[in-house]
Amino acid sequence: MSTEDNKSIPEEEPGKRSLNFIEEKIEKDLNNNKNNRQVHTRFPPEPNGFLHIGHAKSIVLNFGLAKEYNGKCNLRFDDTNPIKESTEYVDSIKEDIHWLGYDWEERLYYASDYFEQLYEMAEKLIKDGKAFVCDLSQDQIAEYRGTPTEPGIESPYRNRSIEENLDLFRRMRAGEFPDGSRMLRAKIDMSSPNMHLRDPIMYRIKRSYHHRTGYDWCIYPMYDFAHGQSDYIESITHSLCTLEFEVHRPLYDWFLDNLVEEGEIRPQQIEFARLNLSYTIVSKRKLLELVENDYVDGWDDPRMPTISGFRRRGYTPDAIKNFVEKVGIAKRDNVIDVALLEHSIREDLNKKAPRVMAVLDPVKVIIDNYPDDTTEDLELVNNPEDESMGSRKVPFSKEVYIEKKDFMEDPPKKFFRMAPGREVRLKGAYVVKCDDYKKDDQGNITEIHCTYDPQTKSGADTSGKKVKGTLHWVSAPHAFQAEVRLYDRLFNDPAPSSKDEDFKAFINPDSLKVFKNCYLEPVLKDAEPEDKFQFQRIGYFCVDRYSEKRLPVFNQTVTLKDTWAKKEKQQQNQKKKG
RNA sequence: UGUCCGGUGGUGUAAUGGCAACACGUCUGAUUUUGGUUCAGAAGAGUCCAGGUUCGAACCCUGGCCGGACAACCA
Which DSSP category does A243 fall into? G
Q: Using the CA of A205, give the nucleotide whose C1' is nearest.
A: B73
Report chain B positions within 7 A of protein CB atoms: 1-8, 10-16, 23-27, 33-38, 67-75
In this structure, is residue A7 part of a structural domain?
A: no
Query: Residue A10 domain-assigned?
Result: no
d(CA A353, CA A343): 15
Calpha distance A227→A78 (Å, rounded): 8
Give the residue with minimal CA–C1' separation from B11: A337
- How far is it, in rounded angstroms, from Cα A280 to Cα A278? 5
What distance in Å separates the CA atoms of residue A561 and residue A558, rounded to the nearest whole number? 9
Here the ipTM equals: 0.96
User: Mean pLDDT lowest for which of A141-155, A262-276, A564-578?
Assistant: A564-578
| Closest alpha carbon to A250 in A268, A263, A235 | A268
CA–CA gap between residue A225 and residue A515 (Å, rounded): 53
pLDDT band, very low/low/confident/very high, at A576 (cuts 50, 70, 90): confident
Q: Which of A34, A84, A274, A352 is catalytic?
A: A274
pLDDT digits (tens, 9 = 90+) for A297-309: 999 999 999 999 9
Q: Which of A249, A272, A295 is the last residue of a domain?
A: A272
Paired with A482 in beta bridges are A518
Quick check: is A9 in a domain?
A: no
Residue A402 pLDDT > 80: yes
A149 shares its domain with A210: yes
Q: Using CA atoms, how far apart are residues A262 and A240, in angstroms rounded to an integer?
A: 23
HSE toward the beta carbon, residue A203, CA cutoff 13 A: 30
- Is A385 annotated as catalytic? no
Flag whether A525 is in a domain.
yes
Give the pLDDT confidence score for residue A15 in this predicted structure. 46
Contact A211, A113 (CB under 8 A): no
Q: Report yes or no on A277 lying in a domain.
A: no
- Residue A410 sits in the same domain as residue A424: yes
Q: What CA–CA distance (Å, rounded) separates A256 from A233?
A: 11
- Residues A209-215, mean pLDDT to the nearest whole number: 98
**Rounded CA separation A240/A210 (Å):** 26
Pick from A260, A223, A267: nearest CA to A125: A260
Q: The CATH number of the domain where A519 resides is what?
A: 2.40.240.10
Question: How many domains does the structure of chain A reveal?
Answer: 3
Assign A404 a pLDDT band (cuts: 50, 70, 90): very high
Same structural domain, A153 and A267: yes
CA of A80 to C1' of B74 (A): 10
pLDDT at A137 over 60: yes
Of the candidates A448, A472, A496, which is a domain's last residue? A472
A263 or A498: which carries more pLDDT confidence? A263
Query: Is the confidence at residue A1, as pLDDT, over 80?
Result: no
Q: What are A371-384's pLDDT values in tens digits?
A: 999 999 999 999 99
> Is A248 within the bounds of a domain?
yes
User: Residue A48: which nucleotide is closest by CA–C1'?
Assistant: B75
Residue nearest to nucleotide B74 (CA to C1'): A81
Residues A378 and A343 reside in one and the same domain: no
Q: Which of A222, A237, A272 is the last residue of a domain?
A: A272
Full domain range(s) for residue A423: 358-472
Active-site annotation holds for A143: no
CA A492 to chain centre: 19
- A433 tagged catalytic: no
Give the pLDDT score at A223: 98
The separation, in Å, between residue A250 CA and nucleotide B13 C1' comes to: 29
List, in order, residues 6 or more apart from A246 with CB less than 8 Å away: A271
Say which of A23, A34, A46, A404 is annotated catalytic.
Answer: A46
pLDDT at A577: 67
Mean pLDDT of chain A: 95
Would the pLDDT of A339 be above 80? yes
Give pLDDT, residue A578: 58
Same domain, A452 and A543: no
Q: How far apart are CA A162 and CA A188, in angstroms?
A: 15
Largest CA distance in chain A: 102
Question: Which pLDDT belongs to residue A568?
Answer: 86
For residues A93 and A128, membership in a common domain is answered with yes
A134 domain-assigned = yes
The Cα–Cα gap between A203 and A355 comes to 58
Q: What percent of chain A has pLDDT over 70?
A: 97
Specify the pLDDT at position A14: 47
pLDDT at A11 over 60: no
Same domain, A257 and A334: no
Residue A3 domain-assigned (yes or no):
no
Same-domain status, A228 and A376: no
Q: What is the mean pLDDT of residues A226-242?
A: 98
Instruction: Say which of A42, A185, A249, A284 is annotated catalytic.
Output: A284
- Rounded CA-CA distance A195/A146 in Å is 8
Q: What percent of chain A shows pLDDT beyond 90?
A: 92
pLDDT of residue A184: 98
Beta bridge partners of A436: A449
| Res A4 pLDDT > 90 | no
Over residues A102-106, mean pLDDT: 98
Beta bridge partners of A547: none
> A5 pLDDT exceeds 50?
no
Return the H-helix or E-strand segment holding A170: helix A162-174
Same domain flag for A390 and A249: no
Q: What is the pLDDT of residue A8?
A: 33
What is the mean pLDDT of the segment spanning A350-364?
A: 98
Q: What is the pLDDT of residues A30-61, one digit of tens each?
A: 999 999 999 999 999 999 999 999 999 999 99
- The pLDDT value given to residue A17: 75
Contact A202, A225 (CB under 8 A): yes
SS (H, E, C) A341-406: HHHHHHHHHHHHCCEECEECCEEEEEECCCCCCCCEEEEEECCCCCHHHCEEEEEECCEEEEEHHH
pLDDT for A247 = 96
Co-location of A35 and A145 in the same domain: yes
Residue A122 one-letter amino acid: A
The whole-number average pLDDT for the span A169-174 is 98
Alpha carbon distance A169, A181 (integer Å): 12
Burial profile A391-423: b = 16 or more Cβ within 10 angstroms, e = fewer: ebebbbbbbbbbbeebbeeeeeeebbbbbeebb
Both A310 and A391 in one domain: the answer is: no
Burial class (CB in 10 A: 0-12, 13-18, 19+), A67: middle
Cβ contacts of A86 within 8 Å, gap of 6 or more: A47, A48, A211
Q: Which tens digits make up the pLDDT trace of A446-480?
A: 999 999 999 999 999 998 889 999 999 999 999 99
Give yes or no: residues A26 and A48 share one domain: yes
Nearest to A111 by CA among A207, A42, A182: A42
Distance A384 CA to B16 C1' (A): 45
Check: CB of residue A521 under 8 Å from CB of residue A312: no
Q: Phi and psi dihedrals of A441, rounded to 5?
A: -60, -30
pTM, whole model, 2 decimals? 0.95
